[in-house]
Amino acid sequence: MTNPLLADWTTPFGLAPFDTISDADFEPAFDAALTQHMAEIEAIASASEAPTFANTIEAMEGAGEALDKVLSVFFSVAGADTNDKRQELQRAFSPRLADHSSKIYQNRALFDRIRALWEGREGLGLSAEEARVLMLTYRGFVRAGAALDGDEATRMAEVKSRLAVLGTQFTQNLLADEAGWSMALDEGDLEGLPDFLVAAARAAGKDMGQDGPVITLSRSLVVPFLQFSPRRDLRETAWRAWTARGANGGETDNREIATEILALREERAKLLGYDNFAAFKLETEMAGSPDKVRDLLMQVWKPARASALADAAEMEGMLQEDGVNGPLKGWDWRYYAEKRRKAQHDLDEAELKPYLQLDKMIEASFACATRLFGLAFKPLDLPLYHPDCRVWEVTRDGQHVALFIGDYFARPSKRSGAWCSAMQMQAKRPEPKAPIVVNVCNFAKPEAGAPALLSYDDARTLFHEFGHALHQMLSDVEFGSIAGTSVARDFVELPSQLYEHWLEVPEVLEEFATHAETGAAMPKAMLDKVLAAANFDMGFQTVEFVASALVDLEFHDGAAPADPMAKQAEVLADLGMPEAIPMRHATPHFAHVFAGDGYSSGYYSYMWSEVMDADAFEAFTETGSAFDPETAKRLEEFILSAGGSEEAEDLYKKFRGRMPGVEALLKGRGLAA
């Protein structure tokens, strides 16, 4: 019987045949696909013909299709619906993939062909996009160590293999800590909690096979519990568990893993001739250097810290009015911030949440894409990797554009956070491919028959991830290696953060923010309060983010710390970190930085992109319409469809005419002087 992962897929739009794939299929398919890809690479490297763009670079673009298919399915289910077998396979596959990559980059015959093309590029008659792909391929090989010889090449392969093992282990430890903790509540503990939170806690308890309600470490449960529970003792218990993920001792402790990862990254950078890992990593980003990153973050830090300290003083007074004679603590902040918001803006999350139904917010995100880009979304009934997943065909003018999969609910088998991935990247060469895009979120699943309700932050997350999806779906380039989100890390968050702005467009909320029980539109008075409170508690949100970004930067800009926890404490002390605000991601659960090196030295990139997204949305508001067709056309042409076909700064300037300063960001966050 043919392994379904290796067979020709006759499914609609090339979607994986999830209903025929079992965990037993992954390992043999992986083995066969890995061998096939290496044979394809060897054939390119050993070709007797002189190197050309077609027989070397374009041939490499087309190689590994079977491996891409296997890995796209495997990593989708391993991240969003894991089990013991999938975790075991992940641990086995990670070092083998790193070794496979190292063999390709250390293939001297292949590198010689690429280098010959690079050195003779002026006479090749390449298109602008072909020239870009050649440059990125050559640069990628050099940065991966292709020019290293002997012991240095061997050591580079060992370092990358070990980093792959450690990143997988870090992720699995974090998932184990998150899935392994829960706090059972008795009926008396539910006092003061809004109905939506009680229902979500009961649903979580049922999922875990318990009789009563429970609070888990899913963000969609623990954050509202910290917001609404009047029980300070229970808030402290939940907060301590949430902030201690990855640092509980025993087999799932991530602290030693973080230490080893940082040391290996420094060694990798020095093998390539860089002073430290941040210098290596940031060389190809828009920021270019650690100093530029630090400058941006510190410009934001100072007003954010001042705002947060003023808020903390006010909330400490509220705490003492409640009879607590002590300082404001981390488990108090969200509770008193919610009280402050209700007092200042007369806005209660419990009253707001019924107007933010998941289905209506999905509909809103689609409707904005229809008005801006002419996209249409048709629900399909196709087998997917989990019953909670949903899928739509995306079309424009009747033509197929993409498949879009939404996986919205938290479950113990899903890693925390939210992300966008592509099971298939857009490409025209060597053969045409339409994107298959997945958005994964962790919203609280309602009890059976009840509508799923979102917080305003959840709704923003939904729009954010859909912005990434649009970047993938609207991609229109020749080669998959530069398609969609294959851009500089500090540019990749621009489309996602920009798309969040449409959630705050009054006409969008007026149409789609309707009450789950009555169907009535959100009252104008509430809508006004929502928009007025958009920057509420922004000091806290900015401080927790910037602190994490600065710790990440300091970990990598210099010698690797022997004790990352001590280094973290030192950085926070130097910043004057407010006592009641933790980092958004403390080191032992900082998956952005330690699960892989995608955001290492790069967590700042959300804020770098935000400088642009605030300015980019102003391009619409300056026209008087959030849906101005000419501005939308430019956004698609120069940002969303262009992928990595040009330098990010050049693309932004084509869209906006100039680069923005930090002022738009401070204004957008309500932190401008």
Spatial distance between the Cα atoms of 401 and 435, rounded to a whole number of angstroms: 7
Q: What is the mean pLDDT of the chain?
A: 96
Provide the annotated active-site residues.
465
Q: Which string of DSSP letters, residue by residue, matches 501-570?
A: GGGG-HHHHHHH-B-TTT-PBPPHHHHHHHHHTTTTTHHHHHHHHHHHHHHHHHHHSSSPPS-HHHHHHH
pLDDT at 630 over 90: yes
Q: Is the separation of the CB atoms in 424 and 72 below 8 Å?
A: yes
pLDDT at 673 over 80: no
- 3 state SS for 400-461: EEEEEEEEEECCCCCCCCCEEEEEECCECECCCECCEEEEEEEECCCCCCCCCECCHHHHHH
Q: What are the residues facing 376 on neighbouring strands?
A: 395
pLDDT at 200 over 90: yes
Query: What's at 335, amino acid-wise?
Result: Y
Kindly provide the b/e burial profile for residues 499-527, where b requires at least 16 CB atoms within 10 angstroms of the residue's own CB: bbbbbbbeebbeebbbebeeeebbeeebb
Q: What is the largest CA-CA distance in the chain?
A: 83
Residue 597, number of CB atoms within 10 A of its CB = 18
Cα 27 → chain centroid? 27
φ, ψ of residue 585 to 5 degrees: the values are -135, 100
Tokens for 388, please give them: 């909670």
- Residue 447 pLDDT grade (very low, low, confident, very high; cuts 50, 70, 90): confident
Tokens for 610, please give them: 């935000």
Spatial distance between the Cα atoms of 639 and 645, rounded to a whole number of angstroms: 10
Spatial distance between the Cα atoms of 277 and 552, rounded to a whole number of angstroms: 11
Domains, the chain: 12-147 (1.20.1050.40), 181-245 (no CATH), 354-490+505-518 (1.10.1370.40)
- The pLDDT score that the predictor gives to residue 21 is 97
pTM comes to: 0.94
Hunting for tokens 């093309």 — which residue is that? 117
pLDDT (tens digit per residue) in 641-651:
999 999 999 99
pLDDT at 321 over 80: yes
pLDDT (tens digit per residue) in 448-494:
899 999 999 999 999 999 999 999 999 999 999 999 999 999 999 99
**Helices 65-80/84-105 angle, 10° precision:** 140
pLDDT at 349 over 90: no
- Residue 1 pLDDT grade (very low, low, confident, very high; cuts 50, 70, 90): confident
For 576-603, what is the mean pLDDT? 96
pLDDT (tens digit per residue) in 508-521:
999 999 999 999 99
Q: Is the separation of the CB atoms in 602 and 285 below 8 Å?
A: yes
* C-alpha pair distances (Å), 358 with each of 111, 214, 512, 561: 50, 22, 10, 43
Spatial distance between the Cα atoms of 503 and 222, rounded to a whole number of angstroms: 24
- The pLDDT score that the predictor gives to residue 337 is 97
**434 Ramachandran zone, left/alpha/beta (phi>0; psi -120 to 50):** beta
Closest CA to 447 of 186, 207, 182: 207
Q: Is the separation of the CB atoms in 418 and 409 below 8 Å?
A: no
Spatial distance between the Cα atoms of 643 and 492, rounded to a whole number of angstroms: 9
Query: What's at 108, amino acid-wise?
Result: R
Tokens for 428, please give them: 């025209």
pLDDT at 162 over 80: yes
Residue 378, number of CB atoms within 10 A of its CB = 9
pLDDT (tens digit per residue) in 510-567:
999 999 999 999 999 999 999 989 899 999 999 999 999 999 999 999 999 999 999 9
- Residue 668 pLDDT grade (very low, low, confident, very high; cuts 50, 70, 90): confident
Q: What are the residues facing 479 on neighbouring strands?
A: 429
Cα 236 → chain centroid? 28
pLDDT (tens digit per residue) in 268-309:
999 999 999 999 999 999 999 999 999 999 999 999 999 999
φ, ψ of residue 396 to 5 degrees: the values are -145, 125
Tokens for 201, please give them: 């806690």
452 secondary structure, DSSP code: P
- Residue 191 pLDDT grade (very low, low, confident, very high; cuts 50, 70, 90): very high
- Residue 672 pLDDT grade (very low, low, confident, very high; cuts 50, 70, 90): confident
Q: What are the residues facing 184 on neighbouring strands?
A: 214
φ, ψ of residue 394 to 5 degrees: the values are -105, 125
Hunting for tokens 């401008």 — which residue is that? 672
Closest CA to 179 of 340, 386, 415, 504: 415
For 555-580, what is the mean pLDDT? 98
Spatial distance between the Cα atoms of 355 and 602, rounded to a whole number of angstroms: 36
Spatial distance between the Cα atoms of 539 and 224, rounded to a whole number of angstroms: 19
For 83-94, what is the mean pLDDT? 97
For 24-35, what is the mean pLDDT? 98
Query: What's at 383, amino acid-wise?
Result: P
pLDDT (tens digit per residue) in 406-442:
999 999 999 999 999 999 999 999 999 999 999 999 9
Spatial distance between the Cα atoms of 142 and 200, rounded to a whole number of angstroms: 51
Spatial distance between the Cα atoms of 453 and 444, rounded to a whole number of angstroms: 8
Q: What share of the chain is helix, strand, coil (3-state, %, to 5)?
A: 60, 10, 30
Q: What is the spatial order of strands in the sheet that 436-443 belongs to?
A: 375-380, 390-396, 399-409, 436-443, 419-424
- Residue 46 pLDDT grade (very low, low, confident, very high; cuts 50, 70, 90): very high
